[in-house]
């Protein structure tokens, strides 16, 4: 059985805590920034085709993202379990956990892909887009959903690599694949050289090719010459022992990711009912916002890795210490990237000259509104996506997302956007209020966590006694 050499390196003794956090957070954040910059580049490429093309790709993205991030929760659950095994230096547990998760993810992603493709027209029409937008979006979605299986595998391999101390590897792989996707998208959209001119659908094929390449490269990094894990056929015993904890951790995350992405989809539907101009502008705002908010995304991964390792070692004080450090880092990055996001409003006209003055105007003010709540979004990301999942508080995660989106945000968006003079501005304001409400709920749940009890439970599972961490 392959050893996991990175598990035996006491990295905390050679790096400061902030450098330890950065060693996970910076590569993860850069990886996400690169992915979103790619999305933005593709949006610019598609934007040459006009506002309808931008709206169609954005509407499809809001819907398909729902399935991607829901299944992507398996990657988060895997990362937490592997981090706990890594904290206990259990290489056999790492192998078993990864094997079971891959089997489960292949089964779920494969079973969802075909019915989604067959019902793409129905799903997109439910979103309420204009007829020309829906007509353009259907073939794009049917192709892009072929990326679901490799996309989910990529999430799992990336999470495993981070928990095993190789956070830079997914960054390098992503950097390579985004270059490929950009070139293929440009070639297939406009028909460069021997490539056919496919228009909007060409960008979807580029997405499929890039995700397949990424999954293959990440699998090679895990199972290739590095021997970070051994590929095993899951046994019945392993399935029984690991599937339960995996589902217990992943199901609440999957549900909350589904709720969150469903909320994004429904917000897009509200924007669509306000008008195609509003929908196109909202997609520009969302894409730009994503580039800056993921500057803090890696802190969520840092929370799952370091808190998971501490709990796996039976170290309650260490888990709380990492929590405090990561929360402070989130405040700094949330404020900093929020300012940069606000400044990005100045470059919208230059990046999207073909979409029209009305779209540019809405996008500019929408950016300023969303930037004002960025620090709240970062806090929610860290607590709701990193701290509470590591503590096993699935109820708190679900409560925050359901109340924030479906009790506060969306009802306000529908009322303010469709039935008051605020229109599109009311939808942007409602999204900001949703984040503020979620902060309160997540903080309340965080304060209820019994870290000593968790450390005893996890330490017992991995054979580690509870211990006291030295700050």
**N-terminal to C-terminal alpha carbon distance within the chain:** 36
Q: Following DSSP, what letter does each residue of 261-305 receive, concatenated?
A: HHHHHHHHHHHHHH-HHHHHHHHHHHHHHHHHHTTTTHHHHHHHH
Residues 6+ apart with CB under 8 A from 61: 39, 283
Q: Is 356 strand, coil or helix?
A: coil
pLDDT at res. 414: 92
pLDDT at res. 25: 77
pLDDT at res. 471: 38
> What is the Cα 367 distance to its own chain's centre?
20
pLDDT at res. 456: 81
> pLDDT tens digit string along 58-101?
777 767 777 777 777 777 777 778 877 776 777 777 888 888 88
> pLDDT tens digit string along 291-328?
788 777 778 878 877 887 788 778 888 888 888 888 88
115 token code pair: 């019915």
pTM above threshold 0.85: no
Residue with tokens 């701290």: 387
Q: Following DSSP, what letter does each residue of 380-417 receive, concatenated?
A: HHHIIIIIHHHTT-HHHHHHHHHIIIIIIIHHHHHHHH
Burial of 136 (0-12, 13-18, 19+ CB in 10 A): buried
- The percent helix, strand, coil of the chain (3-state, each to 5) is 85, 0, 15
pLDDT at res. 437: 94
Segments of the chain with pLDDT less than 70 = 1-15, 35-40, 42-43, 62, 87, 127-129, 234, 253, 261, 459-471
Q: What does the domain layout of the chain look like in residue ranges?
A: 14-462
């Amino acid at each position: 059985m392959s050893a996991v050499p990175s598990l035996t390196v006491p990295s905390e003794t050679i790096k400061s805590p902030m450098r330890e956090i950065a060693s996970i957070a910076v590569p993860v954040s850069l990886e996400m920034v690169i992915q979103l910059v790619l999305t933005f580049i593709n949006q610019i490429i598609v934007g040459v085709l006009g506002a309808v093309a931008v709206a169609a790709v954005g509407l499809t993205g809001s819907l398909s993202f729902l399935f991607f991030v829901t299944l992507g929760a398996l990657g988060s659950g895997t990362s937490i379990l592997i981090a706990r095994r890594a904290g206990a230096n259990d290489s056999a547990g790492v192998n078993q956990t990864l094997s079971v998760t891959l089997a489960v993810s292949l089964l779920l992603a494969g079973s969802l892909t075909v019915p989604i493709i067959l019902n793409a027209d129905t799903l997109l029409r439910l979103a309420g887009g204009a007829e020309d937008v829906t007509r353009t979006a259907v073939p794009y979605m049917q192709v892009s959903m072929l990326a679901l299986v490799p996309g989910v595998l990529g999430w799992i391999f990336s999470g495993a690599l981070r928990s095993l101390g190789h956070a830079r590897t997914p960054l390098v792989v992503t950097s390579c694949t985004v270059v490929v996707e950009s070139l293929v998208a440009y070639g297939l959209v406009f028909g460069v050289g021997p490539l056919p001119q496919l228009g909007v659908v060409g960008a979807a094929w580029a997405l499929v090719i890039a995700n397949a390449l990424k999954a293959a490269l990440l699998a090679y990094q895990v199972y290739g010459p590095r021997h970070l894990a051994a590929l095993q056929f899951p046994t019945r015993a392993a399935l029984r022992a690991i599937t339960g904890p995996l589902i217990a951790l992943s199901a609440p995350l999957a549900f909350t990711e589904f709720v969150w992405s469903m909320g994004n989809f429904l917000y897009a539907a509200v924007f669509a009912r306000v008008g195609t101009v509003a929908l196109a502008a909202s997609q520009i705002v969302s894409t730009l916002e994503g580039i800056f908010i993921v500057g803090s995304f890696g802190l969520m991964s840092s929370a799952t890795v370091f808190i998971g390792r501490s709990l796996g070692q039976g170290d309650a004080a260490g888990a709380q210490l990492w929590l405090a450090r990561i929360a402070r880092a989130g405040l700094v990055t949330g404020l900093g990237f929020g300012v940069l996001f606000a400044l990005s409003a100045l470059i919208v006209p230059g990046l999207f000259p073909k979409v029209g003055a009305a779209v540019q105007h809405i996008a500019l003010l929408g950016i300023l509104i969303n930037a004002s709540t960025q620090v709240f979004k970062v806090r929610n990301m860290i607590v709701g996506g990193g701290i509470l999942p590591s503590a096993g508080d699935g109820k708190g995660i679900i409560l925050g997302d359901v109340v924030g989106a479906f009790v506060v945000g969306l009802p306000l968006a529908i009322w303010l956007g469709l039935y008051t003079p605020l229109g599109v501005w009311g939808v942007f304001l409602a999204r900001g209020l949703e984040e503020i409400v979620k902060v309160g709920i997540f903080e309340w749940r965080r304060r209820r966590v019994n870290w000593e009890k968790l450390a005893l439970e996890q330490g017992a599972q991995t054979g580690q006694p509870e211990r006291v961490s030295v700050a």
